[in-house]
Structure 1
Amino acid sequence: MGSSLSRNMAMPSSRRVMSHHSGDSSHTPMRILLTALVLLSAPVLAQPKSVPTPKAAPKSDGFIRQLVETRYFNIGRPMGTSFTPDEQTLFFLRNPEGSRALALHAFDVATGQTREHLTAERLLQRARENLAVEPKARQEPARVSSRGLSSYALSEDGEKLLVGLSGKQYIVTRASGKVTELKTGPGAMDVRFSPDATQVAYVRGHDVYRLDLATNIEHQVTKGGTEEKSHGLAEFIATSEMMRFSGYWWSPDGKALAYTESDTSGVEKLAIADALHPENDARRLAFPRAGKANARVRLGIIPITGGKTTWVRWDVEKYPYLATVRWPAKGPLTVLVQNRLQTEELLLAVDPRTGSTRTLLVERDDAWLTLHQTFPHWLEDGSGFLWYTERNGAGEVELRDASGKFVRSLVPPGAGFYDMAGYVEKDGTVYFTGGPTSDERYVWRLSPGGRPTRVTSESPALELARMSKRGGLLAITSEGPRRMRHTTVMKADGTRVGELPSVAMEPPFQPRVEVRYVGKERYPTSLVRPRDAKPGVKLPVIVDIYAGPGIPMVYQSMQQHLTNQWLADEGFIVVKLDGRGVSPTADAKLRKPKYDWPRLLLDEQVAALRALAAEVPEMDLSRVGITGASNGGYMSALAVLTRPDVFKAAVAVSSVTDWRDYDSHLTERFFGLPDEHPQAYEQASLLTHVKADQPMGKLLFIHGTADDNVLFFHALKLSDALFRAGQPHEFLPLSGMPHMVFDPVLAERMWEETARYFKRHL
């Protein structure tokens, strides 16, 4: 499912994240136990006698807190790699040992040695040295952020670094080491080099600015931006669901900018209040719910000197979503626009002088079109571009000429394409990550007329890769069931150059992960037993679920089973189950179930559970619980409401209750428009399945009061419906918490409560 619907109690791939945040004392949980007893007198919230006395929560061993404080044992591991154009150096960010402050490191390709290139302290010291002629007040040391360097970017020529620190931006000239603090003013966002690295552009106060690096003088480019009509900022739907995080783009010659104008004046405004601090005003969020008004987005082109904007013209009523923008060095300004149902899209070439467009290609899909922000990928000479499509049954990469005409298929549908690592134009070789199964992912090399061959030999593993611009080097990040993430530098032919050093703390144990394909359908599953489990002894089962359409949970990954092992050690067998549609080469109807997908995917979970139990006799199917967050929270609640014959108890975190209350882009992709498919929304709503005379499993749901993704009122709606129906349930609000639980103490308490709840009811 889209990234915004992600699990916050575990940290699998990009869609399920839990990160660290130093929470303040106001972020404390408030426990509300609702038994929904309907009485003739005033309502009384009391625990019914039929419910046994709760067992004590498991004694904390500090693991969960350590897990979150170390970002799943990733603090100290290399991240954010960038090759220099000459392929002599690979830059990356990493925390020094025992520190939370990110520093910039440089790996020397010739020697295989790594050195610390830049720290926050060194950056500030060099900046002060360059301020000798400034007033004394300007030379006082700035307070160093506890996070160190927050970002960096390498210029196209490799000669300059753009570094972010404590909300400020600095230019570092590599040859001399000179550091210049940019006078961008407070609140500058999305700061980026011009193609020739003589300027940077950024957004501040709802307008786009540029700054000349030679003079350090700022110039306003757009004017009139407001909170409801912003310039240069990606709107909510773009960042949450489309993975388009920018709202402006440089022209190749650096003389113009393309920028979005996002008008949210017609979008419904929802309030997010802090119940513990009623003296504070509620935050108003422009949140486009399913079937309601979206932001109106248009694209303009403006000279960097300011002046008149030329607006790009397309049928915005038919194609309201501006999904992707590219302005390549060679080739036209290119935009991808989609219809609201995401079943049709146009790739358009733009004439920057007039704003007129011509169609390069049209894509259609009866279910929905998958956005892939790597594409279009224009060739360096502008003679054509690479394109991603699923029209032939599965993910495929094509080469098309500059007019959009098909040339040839580069990666066939059967290859299991996941993402692009690089394309060597001189010989047409593609490097990509993927493979035929969902639980493993590798880097592949594919030459014209050949078959995909693996670049690496480690197995089983999950791999991601970044290729140098020349195509001679790869930085491959890999993890497996017995090893945490590590990054290796290799030549394109597979020759190992070296490994980026890690100073991360390693987990105190290794999960006992068993990955199996079960049943005649070959469902992917993973299983974790207690480390002291005895053969033949039956144990209750907990299903760890996400189950968004096409999104796998089962991976050959140590990291993604750490919390599963901790929970298993409390006396459970913890399993993850995937349906057939997670396979990258599965039939399109399985990969893209629509309208009734929650029931279909839950049925597949049940079938996979039973198939796994047929092979693992220790699984006691009379005692099955289920837990997940975001979409996983929704599926957990749905499971105990509609399949109490299978699932006896659930802990649902940050769950959607009614899909009519979730955002338009993701929801309508899977359910269509509410007015056109009301039955799909009705059947998918948890409220539909809350009935006074219908048995249900035990349910605890947990929700952050400051959640701006699945808003807190989802939990209130569900609790109200259950209470009115006389259905006992437990509800735990997390005060001040957003969609992700960043606070290590709260994360620890949540997991303890989850274990206690399942011990009590299973």
Structure 2
Amino acid sequence: MEVREAGDGTPTPESVKVPSKKYSWAEVRHAVNVLRKELSSLSSMVPMSISFRKLNNGKNRIYFLRTPQNGWEITLLYTDITSTVHPNNDVLEWKPLMESNVSLGETSGKWSREEQLLCERQRVAAWGIASYELHPKTGRVLFPCASSLFVVAGDDEPMWQSPPLVARVLPTGGGAPLTPAMCPRAPSLVAHTARGDIWLAGGGARRPVRLTYACRGHAPDRLTEDPRQAGVPCYVTQEEFSRYTGFWWQPKSDDDMFRIVYEEVDESEVKIFSFPSSQSHSGEVEEFRFPRAGSPNAESILRLVTFKLRQISPATVVDCYREGSEDSTNNFQTVGQNEPEIIFKQKVDKAVQAFVTHSFRSKAVQTRIKQ
């Protein structure tokens, strides 16, 4: 047995490989793009985001995301399994749950910068449907795609038909709808984040309803004037803890009230940095709030918003009130005047150091744990 002495970690001259050729920036960028395409094609070939549901006819349906054989964008597929015994070499038939993604792109807009950043933090390398939500009881499917929100009718809805189904666009609160979620006890109600706040769509309402007012909406100087946002976790939570959702529906309720617990993030102490834009070749820069190592981080507050639906022919009106009022039945207010109750406050004690150059990113992480 060979015994080696402990060293200081410095590589020996024999282990250092000198590149045989110096590559230009254009050659390195081209090589990385080719590698990304290869990794993207490999990752999209494996089924992901698998969900199970038992149908009324006794079959079990499996939903999953994957690139079809003759396509290049990720779409939603399914396969049905019966209770009969299948041979070991039996291959399940994969079928598209809905029409091609081409129709989705025609009825929606382009991919927004918010969606691109979210896909980057989720490590999603392919285009198409990156996520979806299935309501197990009704079979209703909800998914965001290309700055729009789509819904596929469930088994109990009049517009339901046999697959492939037709996805219809759900009106949103403007901007890219991020992390949408159906209400567990009323799947026609959909909450989503857009432009730094939480919006409510569906449920018979003519247009989306804004539930929170954390963001003021200063478009040109949003980073400077609007340091708060609702329903969207801070950068550290997304990048290091892989949590991208910042609001949660109440699963069950004994009354006619709907409640959503959401996270409100205050980034007023986080510094603003300018990075070269990866979407432009003319030297443009993008501004981001970025918590460098040793600098202040974002503060998070958990709030609770409560509302109920009131049917006024021919539309549905949403009434909100502050949780904890003495007489809740007489204290309903308009959504714009609603001030949700603070139920928890937390400050993220984690810092991230990152260096960004065009499409290439590397980071060094420092973590502090309070005793």
Same fold (TM over 0.5): yes
1:310 equivalent in structure 2 = 341
1:114 equivalent in structure 2 = 94
Whole-angstrom CA distance in 2 between matches of 1:242 and 1:81: 22
**Residue identity matched to 1:161:** V
Indicate yes or no: 2:221 matched with 1:256.
Answer: no
DSSP-derived class of the 1:198 partner: strand
DSSP-derived class of the 1:96 partner: coil
Whole-angstrom CA distance in 2 between matches of 1:144 and 1:230: 23
Whole-angstrom CA distance in 1 between matches of 2:93 and 2:354: 46
Is the contact between residue 120 and residue 165 of structure 1 (CA under 8 Å) also seen in structure 2? no
Q: Assess, with a 3 A threshold, how the Cα gap between structure 1 residues 225 and 279 changes in structure 2: closer, same or farther.
A: same
Is the contact between residue 131 and residue 144 of structure 2 (CA under 8 Å) also seen in structure 1? yes
| Aligned match for 2:354, one of 710, 734, 758 | 710
2:131 equivalent in structure 1 = 151
Percent identical among aligned pairs is 19
2:169 equivalent in structure 1 = 181
1:700 equivalent in structure 2 = none
2:14 equivalent in structure 1 = none
Deviation at residue 170 of structure 1 after TM alignment: 1.3
Whole-angstrom CA distance in 2 between matches of 1:194 and 1:170: 15
Equivalences for 1:302-381 in 2 at 5 Å?
Answer: 302-304=305-307, 305=320, 306=335, 307-313=338-344, 316=346, 320-321=347-348, 340=349
Deviation at residue 186 of structure 1 after TM alignment: 3.0
DSSP-derived class of the 1:225 partner: coil
Whole-angstrom CA distance in 1 between matches of 2:287 and 2:108: 33
**Residue identity matched to 2:199:** Y
Deviation at residue 245 of structure 1 after TM alignment: 1.2
Is the contact between residue 354 and residue 361 of structure 2 (CA under 8 Å) also seen in structure 1? yes
| Aligned match for 1:205, one of 182, 195, 200 | 195
DSSP-derived class of the 1:300 partner: strand
Q: Assess, with a 3 A threshold, how the Cα gap between structure 1 residues 289 and 736 changes in structure 2: closer, same or farther.
A: closer
Is the contact between residue 150 and residue 166 of structure 1 (CA under 8 Å) also seen in structure 2? no
- Alpha carbon RMSD of aligned pairs, Å? 3.6
DSSP-derived class of the 2:39 partner: coil
- Normalised to the residue count of structure 1, the TM-score between the two structures is 0.31
Is the contact between residue 75 and residue 101 of structure 2 (CA under 8 Å) also seen in structure 1? no
2:204 equivalent in structure 1 = 214
Deviation at residue 74 of structure 1 after TM alignment: 2.7
2:228 equivalent in structure 1 = 229
Deviation at residue 255 of structure 1 after TM alignment: 0.4
Structure label with greater radius of gyration: 1
Whole-angstrom CA distance in 1 between matches of 2:193 and 2:110: 24
**Residue identity matched to 2:37:** E
Deviation at residue 144 of structure 1 after TM alignment: 9.3
Deviation at residue 296 of structure 1 after TM alignment: 1.5
What per-residue deviation string (whole Å, max 9, x for no partner) do you get for residues 359-404 of structure 1? Answer: xxxxxxxxxxxxxxxxxxxxxxxxxxxxxxxxxxxxxxxxxxxxxx
Q: Assess, with a 3 A threshold, how the Cα gap between structure 1 residues 115 and 224 changes in structure 2: closer, same or farther.
A: closer
| Aligned match for 2:47, one of 74, 78, 81 | 78
DSSP-derived class of the 2:36 partner: helix
Whole-angstrom CA distance in 1 between matches of 2:228 and 2:147: 24
Q: Assess, with a 3 A threshold, how the Cα gap between structure 1 residues 295 and 67 changes in structure 2: closer, same or farther.
A: closer
DSSP-derived class of the 1:70 partner: helix
Whole-angstrom CA distance in 1 between matches of 2:237 and 2:167: 34
1:69 equivalent in structure 2 = 37
Query: Gaps (5+ residues) in structure 1?
Result: 1-52, 126-139, 322-339, 341-663, 667-708, 713-734, 741-762
Deviation at residue 179 of structure 1 after TM alignment: 3.5
DSSP-derived class of the 1:711 partner: strand
**Residue identity matched to 1:88:** N
Deviation at residue 309 of structure 1 after TM alignment: 0.8
> How many residues are aligned here?
263
What per-residue deviation string (whole Å, max 9, x for no partner) do you get for residues 717-750 of structure 1? Answer: xxxxxxxxxxxxxxxxxx621327xxxxxxxxxx
Q: Assess, with a 3 A threshold, how the Cα gap between structure 1 residues 302 and 106 changes in structure 2: closer, same or farther.
A: same
Indicate yes or no: 2:246 matched with 1:247.
Answer: yes
Equivalences for 1:555-634 in 2 at 5 Å?
Answer: none
Is the contact between residue 151 and residue 163 of structure 1 (CA under 8 Å) also seen in structure 2? yes
Whole-angstrom CA distance in 1 between matches of 2:144 and 2:196: 20
DSSP-derived class of the 1:200 partner: strand
- Normalised to the residue count of structure 2, the TM-score between the two structures is 0.61
Q: Assess, with a 3 A threshold, how the Cα gap between structure 1 residues 69 and 234 changes in structure 2: closer, same or farther.
A: same
Whole-angstrom CA distance in 2 between matches of 1:278 and 1:106: 44
1:384 equivalent in structure 2 = none
2:291 equivalent in structure 1 = 288
Equivalences for 1:132-147 in 2 at 5 Å?
Answer: 147=127
Is the contact between residue 230 and residue 262 of structure 1 (CA under 8 Å) also seen in structure 2? yes
Is the contact between residue 121 and residue 144 of structure 1 (CA under 8 Å) also seen in structure 2? no
Whole-angstrom CA distance in 1 between matches of 2:210 and 2:261: 14
Whole-angstrom CA distance in 1 between matches of 2:283 and 2:170: 37
Deviation at residue 216 of structure 1 after TM alignment: 5.2
Whole-angstrom CA distance in 2 between matches of 1:267 and 1:64: 31
| Aligned match for 1:55, one of 15, 20, 40 | 20
Deviation at residue 209 of structure 1 after TM alignment: 0.7
Whole-angstrom CA distance in 1 between matches of 2:301 and 2:210: 20
**Residue identity matched to 1:211:** A
Is the contact between residue 247 and residue 260 of structure 2 (CA under 8 Å) also seen in structure 1? yes
Whole-angstrom CA distance in 2 between matches of 1:64 and 1:90: 35
Deviation at residue 99 of structure 1 after TM alignment: 2.5
Whole-angstrom CA distance in 2 between matches of 1:259 and 1:143: 27
**Residue identity matched to 2:273:** L
Whole-angstrom CA distance in 2 between matches of 1:122 and 1:270: 37
| Aligned match for 2:273, one of 236, 251, 270 | 270
**Residue identity matched to 2:343:** V
Deviation at residue 56 of structure 1 after TM alignment: 4.4
Deviation at residue 159 of structure 1 after TM alignment: 2.0
Is the contact between residue 301 and residue 342 of structure 2 (CA under 8 Å) also seen in structure 1? yes
Of structures 1 and 2, the one with the larger relative CO (CA 8 A, separation 6+) is 1
Is the contact between residue 264 and residue 301 of structure 2 (CA under 8 Å) also seen in structure 1? yes
DSSP-derived class of the 1:169 partner: strand
2:359 equivalent in structure 1 = 737
Is the contact between residue 90 and residue 106 of structure 1 (CA under 8 Å) also seen in structure 2? yes
Deviation at residue 54 of structure 1 after TM alignment: 6.8
**Residue identity matched to 2:128:** G
Whole-angstrom CA distance in 1 between matches of 2:134 and 2:277: 40
Whole-angstrom CA distance in 2 between matches of 1:65 and 1:230: 34
Query: Gaps (5+ residues) in structure 2?
Result: 1-17, 85-91, 112-125, 217-225, 308-319, 321-334, 363-371
Deviation at residue 105 of structure 1 after TM alignment: 1.1
**Residue identity matched to 1:167:** S
Is the contact between residue 76 and residue 96 of structure 2 (CA under 8 Å) also seen in structure 1? yes
Whole-angstrom CA distance in 2 between matches of 1:273 and 1:283: 6
Whole-angstrom CA distance in 2 between matches of 1:313 and 1:214: 32
**Residue identity matched to 1:710:** A
What per-residue deviation string (whole Å, max 9, x for no partner) do you get for residues 169-219 of structure 1? Answer: 111114314643101133221111111212000111111111123345311
Whole-angstrom CA distance in 2 between matches of 1:222 and 1:269: 24
Q: Assess, with a 3 A threshold, how the Cα gap between structure 1 residues 288 and 157 changes in structure 2: closer, same or farther.
A: same
Is the contact between residue 163 and residue 169 of structure 1 (CA under 8 Å) also seen in structure 2? yes
1:104 equivalent in structure 2 = 76
Is the contact between residue 83 and residue 90 of structure 1 (CA under 8 Å) also seen in structure 2? yes
Is the contact between residue 301 and residue 309 of structure 1 (CA under 8 Å) also seen in structure 2? yes
Deviation at residue 90 of structure 1 after TM alignment: 0.7
Q: Assess, with a 3 A threshold, how the Cα gap between structure 1 residues 237 and 68 changes in structure 2: closer, same or farther.
A: closer
DSSP-derived class of the 1:149 partner: coil
Is the contact between residue 85 and residue 158 of structure 1 (CA under 8 Å) also seen in structure 2? no
Q: Assess, with a 3 A threshold, how the Cα gap between structure 1 residues 299 and 313 changes in structure 2: closer, same or farther.
A: closer
Is the contact between residue 119 and residue 149 of structure 1 (CA under 8 Å) also seen in structure 2? no
Indicate yes or no: 2:229 matched with 1:238.
Answer: no
Indicate yes or no: 2:58 matched with 1:89.
Answer: no
Q: Assess, with a 3 A threshold, how the Cα gap between structure 1 residues 736 and 101 changes in structure 2: closer, same or farther.
A: same
